[in-house]
Structure 1
Amino acid sequence: MVSTLTWIDHDSRARERTLRILAQFQEKESRDELGIGTVRDSLADLLFPGTSTIQTRLRYMLFVPWIYRALEDKNVSAAQFAGAADKHERELVRRLQTADDHHGMFGKNAGGDIKRLPSSVYWAGLGAWHIRLTPFSQGQYHQRIDETYRQKRRIARQQRHGRDRADDPDTEPDNVYNWHPRLPATPADFPEKVTFLLTRDEAEFIRDRLQVACPHSLLAFLALQDDKPTGAYPWECASSGRFSTTHQTILHHARLFSEVMHGAALSYNYQLAKKTERVGLCEHHEENFQEWRNALPLAEIARWNINELWALTHREGHQIAPQTRHFIESWVRYIRTTPDALLKGDASALIEYREKKLKGPRSRFTNKRAQEQWSGHSGTGRISYRWKTVKTLLADLHQGLCQEAVC
């Protein structure tokens, strides 16, 4: 896998998109068998920028820059930088194994042999929250670190000679920072006695970064609240009554999209169970589908302005393919017109056609090997827009904010 994905290192956006796609296979509810992930991720990024389903604990947002800043302070060369970072991250993983709190720990079982390091998981989020200031991909950052050192030395010489070049964007000191200049100090016992508990100063720093980097997001709003977020979905949060009109609008579309596409996923699983003649599984999926159908808010779906959904989701960094729009609009139309015939006829054929179009010869409807490898459940969890992850990150933040300030 590493050798086949090295090309994405030269394009930070492509790299982040690819890592996000790979991450979808970590959770059942994230499996995107029908190609709707672009819409889901666009809404999730509107609500909770910088997050992903494979993030676990908030303090990794500081662990990673602390490691890199220490390497920069030692002037580790570009030739040795990636290797040194890898070594220090694996040491961090080993140290965390000795901590009392193992929840959300990378490499809980693999330890130092972990394959995906925290820096690759948090790199995009560090940029989105403006903790990471370098615009480059992780690989480019490693390769260009010597240029950072040269710029710092040049500025130091200019300052020693008393030259005032603060108005020159090419030599302004801020331009040589790869990490936010107010990044909290690295604890003296890091990583020997590392834990996931944020200090109050650290929590305030992250909270403030959210207010500056993504001030209009629901994530930034929730970071300011005294109570921890609740509910299985963001629209079920106890504090939802205090959400802004903009947040309420986004959540309205997010909830209805999650609602209708859950039915598409259930139909897909029902059809596969029927295709493979797994009677018990077929009955199970049919029962789940009927339960979904009986709970459908049909009146609300009938009034739903789906064009507003496209206006929200089709934006920079998130392009919704015409075929995806057509599939979703067709499924919604069948729900509106024939809600009691969704497991047969054209509505059923739509689901099969979509999967075949996406997977080609690997389609589970036609490929015997793919049918044999199918677990019986695929993408059956309702879309929650990373809410489980967000609740964990915010719980860490609120716990840190409740710590006593260090004077």
Structure 2
Amino acid sequence: MAGGVRPATNVGRKRGGTVSLIAWMDTSPDEQRRVREIVALFADKGTLDELGIGQIRDAFSDCMFPGTSTIQTRARYLLFVPWIYERSAKSSAKGTVRRRGEAQERRFITTMKLANQSEGLIGRQAGVNVKTLPSAIYWSALVRYGILTSPLSLDQIGSPARLVTGADELVDRIVGDWSPTLPAPPPTFPQEVEGGFDLTAEEASWLRDRIMLAAPGSVLTHLLRSDATLSADSTAPWNEPACTDGDSDTTSIVHHAEMFSLAMEGAALLYTLLVAERYEERKFTSLVEPTSYYADQLKRWASDRQESSDQLYRWSTKKMWRMAYDLAPRIGAPTRQFVDQWIQAVVSGRADDAANDPGLRSMIAARESMKKGNQSRLTNERMLARWQGASGQGRLVFRWPLVKRLVTDIKEGLARAGT
């Protein structure tokens, strides 16, 4: 069906096993977080932005789910990090607050492991040697939700309290680094963490209120306000009933996201088919019959597109672009031209036979060449030889797996109020 997300795992390696092909993941517009997420993306085969539409993808993600990123895991980290750095700021141990805090973050991994709290644990595999700490992953969210009172860097944490002048210029107040209403940590924190990743009712209520205050009108706020339990098997926002029963603004952005995701999956599949064809032409054999597989996937996509043809025909791309430019004003003219041309081919039905359309094939090849330069798999044989399938293939889901986990954490915490 058009609304589904199909991770493909059918392209086999010659020496056994399968190549896991997963949907594109998403990044945020914050530059530091973007760098971390790009590194994470390159660690996962098949999640690369080969055709250069990441800014548009991010605009949708940030509009629907502000403050989130693909490398966040559990909601209680939004409290763990402030608690650790509040404690580090009060410590008399040697070193800066940042250094003491980062050391505590690493010890905290061991604490959670000993408590068998592994689901969503950052550093579960690498342990204390993990390269990216929770503070780096959640910092932008802490700022976005007002948990951190101002956009400080880690190096600025624990500096003397700041004097802030009130709006009427008559009221001055002393502020610390963290929201003054931040819930207190459990008494034994961080040596022991009562409840592990489970939020208490007080913590969940506080987090919900912080997010709703910071992100009014977003799909994320709508989900937190709703009493509905999220569907365990929803794979994208548009097939989650709780995302599509809101007001016109929230349902509109979800609809734009769904149409964009459906349309651009075809471009990704055509690109992957071109790579597969060249891979077989050059006699590489680690993957078994990738051309046949991706040709079938493109036909499957064409069938999905036909099922949604009426929706695509009525889709207002002008409104979509207004939303995208509000959040990502630096989207370049070449990117818009490429996306518009491809969407036009999708809406008209021309893309249904994209595998045999010389014009569309040339357009996709030219776009990848422009974005990748001498790293293009269509021209660089060394890059082609290392190909493992799934070059950007898959439906965009705009951080949905992560968002569903965070929202569920908060809802489950709220439900503990009655226990």
Which range, TM-score by smaller chain? 0.7 to 0.9
Alignment correspondent of 1:5:
none
> Is the aligned partner of 1:281 residue 2:290?
yes
Q: Deviations over 1:364-392 (max 9, x none)?
A: 11111110111111222210110100111
Distance 1:264 1:301, change over 3 A: same
Question: What is the rounded CA distance, in whole Å, between the counterparts of 2:368 and 2:309 in structure 1?
Answer: 25
Distance 1:136 1:13, change over 3 A: farther
Which stretch shows the higher mean deviation, 383-392 or 336-345? 336-345
- The Cα shift of 1:19 comes to 2.9
Q: Trace 1:111-130 onto structure 2 (pairs within 5 A).
A: 111-130=127-146
Question: What is the rounded CA distance, in whole Å, between the counterparts of 2:42 and 2:100 in structure 1?
Answer: 29
Aligned amino acid, residue 261 of structure 2 = S
Of residues 73, 93, 100, the one that matches 2:90 is: 73
Question: What is the rounded CA distance, in whole Å, between the counterparts of 1:374 and 1:270 in structure 2?
Answer: 12
Distance 1:134 1:398, change over 3 A: same
- The Cα shift of 1:319 comes to 2.5
- Tell me, what secondary structure is at the counterpart of 2:353? coil
Question: What is the rounded CA distance, in whole Å, between the counterparts of 2:168 and 2:336 in structure 1?
Answer: 48
- The Cα shift of 1:192 comes to 2.1
Alignment correspondent of 2:302:
293
Alignment correspondent of 1:160:
none
Distance 1:13 1:55, change over 3 A: closer
Alignment correspondent of 1:57:
74
Question: What is the rounded CA distance, in whole Å, between the counterparts of 2:170 and 2:32 in structure 1?
Answer: 29
Q: Which runs of 5+ in 2 are unaligned?
A: 1-28
Alignment correspondent of 2:53:
36
Question: What is the rounded CA distance, in whole Å, between the counterparts of 2:341 and 2:166 in structure 1?
Answer: 60
TM-score calculated relative to the size of structure 2: 0.84
- Tell me, what secondary structure is at the counterpart of 1:340? helix
Q: Deviations over 1:116-152 (max 9, x none)?
A: 101000011111111111213334x24xx43x25x48
Alignment correspondent of 1:186:
185
Question: What is the rounded CA distance, in whole Å, between the counterparts of 2:215 and 2:151 in structure 1?
Answer: 17
Which stretch shows the higher mean deviation, 220-229 or 111-120? 220-229
Q: Deviations over 1:57-85 (max 9, x none)?
A: 110000000011112233778x6222111
- The Cα shift of 1:272 comes to 0.3
Aligned amino acid, residue 287 of structure 1 = D
Distance 1:226 1:299, change over 3 A: closer
- The Cα shift of 1:242 comes to 2.3
TM-score calculated relative to the size of structure 1: 0.86
- Tell me, what secondary structure is at the counterpart of 2:188? coil
Contact 2:244–2:250 (8 Å) recurs in 1: no
Aligned amino acid, residue 292 of structure 2 = E
- The Cα shift of 1:28 comes to 5.3
Aligned amino acid, residue 268 of structure 1 = Y
Q: Deviations over 1:166-203 (max 9, x none)?
A: 97579412xx3211110000111112222101111100
How many residues matched? 377
Aligned amino acid, residue 206 of structure 1 = L
Distance 1:243 1:30, change over 3 A: farther
- The Cα shift of 1:101 comes to 3.2
Question: What is the rounded CA distance, in whole Å, between the counterparts of 2:47 and 2:86 in structure 1?
Answer: 34
Of residues 153, 163, 169, the one that matches 1:137 is: 153
Contact 1:199–1:403 (8 Å) recurs in 2: yes
CA RMSD of the aligned region, Å? Answer: 2.4
Question: What is the rounded CA distance, in whole Å, between the counterparts of 1:246 and 1:167 in structure 2?
Answer: 34
Question: What is the rounded CA distance, in whole Å, between the counterparts of 1:219 and 1:89 in structure 2?
Answer: 28
Q: Deviations over 1:304-331 (max 9, x none)?
A: 2211111001124553111111110111
Alignment correspondent of 2:239:
236
Aligned amino acid, residue 395 of structure 2 = R
Question: What is the rounded CA distance, in whole Å, between the counterparts of 1:29 and 1:258 in structure 2?
Answer: 16
- The Cα shift of 1:26 comes to 5.1
Question: What is the rounded CA distance, in whole Å, between the counterparts of 1:32 and 1:17 in structure 2?
Answer: 13
Distance 1:166 1:319, change over 3 A: closer
Question: What is the rounded CA distance, in whole Å, between the counterparts of 1:317 and 1:137 in structure 2?
Answer: 23
- Tell me, what secondary structure is at the counterpart of 1:135? coil
Question: What is the rounded CA distance, in whole Å, between the counterparts of 2:169 and 2:270 in structure 1?
Answer: 61
- Tell me, what secondary structure is at the counterpart of 1:172? strand
Alignment correspondent of 2:369:
356
Question: What is the rounded CA distance, in whole Å, between the counterparts of 1:106 and 1:352 in structure 2?
Answer: 38
Alignment correspondent of 1:399:
412
Q: Trace 1:259-274 onto structure 2 (pairs within 5 A).
A: 259-274=262-277
Alignment correspondent of 1:341:
353
- The Cα shift of 1:17 comes to 3.3
Question: What is the rounded CA distance, in whole Å, between the counterparts of 1:102 and 1:165 in structure 2?
Answer: 44
Distance 1:299 1:285, change over 3 A: same
Contact 1:24–1:53 (8 Å) recurs in 2: no
Alignment correspondent of 2:31:
14
Q: Which runs of 5+ in 1 are unaligned?
A: 1-11, 156-163
- The Cα shift of 1:250 comes to 0.5
Aligned amino acid, residue 260 of structure 2 = F
> Is the aligned partner of 1:108 residue 2:124?
yes
Q: Deviations over 1:343-401 (max 9, x none)?
A: 23111111111110001011111111110111111222210110100111111111111
Q: Trace 1:299-314 onto structure 2 (pairs within 5 A).
A: 299-314=310-325
Question: What is the rounded CA distance, in whole Å, between the counterparts of 1:405 and 1:99 in structure 2?
Answer: 25
- Tell me, what secondary structure is at the counterpart of 1:393? helix
- The Cα shift of 1:334 comes to 1.9
Contact 2:236–2:397 (8 Å) recurs in 1: yes
Alignment correspondent of 2:8:
none
Which structure has greater helix proportion?
A: 1
